[in-house]
Amino acid sequence: MSETRTWPELAIGLYDQLSGRGAEITYEFEEMTVDVPSHAGEGATHAKWKVDGTLKIRTKDAASS
> How many structural domains are present in the chain?
1
Domain that holds residue 58: 7-39+46-64
Is 26 among the domain residues?
yes
Is 55 among the domain residues?
yes
Is 52 among the domain residues?
yes
Is 50 among the domain residues?
yes
Is 2 among the domain residues?
no
Can you give the pTM of this predicted structure?
A: 0.40
pLDDT of 64 > 80? The answer is: no
Is 1 among the domain residues?
no
57 CB-near residues (< 8 Å, 6+ apart)? 15, 24, 25, 26, 27
2 CB-near residues (< 8 Å, 6+ apart)? none
**pLDDT, tens digit (0-9, with 9 covering 90-100), for 13-51:** 877 777 666 677 788 888 889 899 999 889 999 999 998
Is 23 among the domain residues?
yes
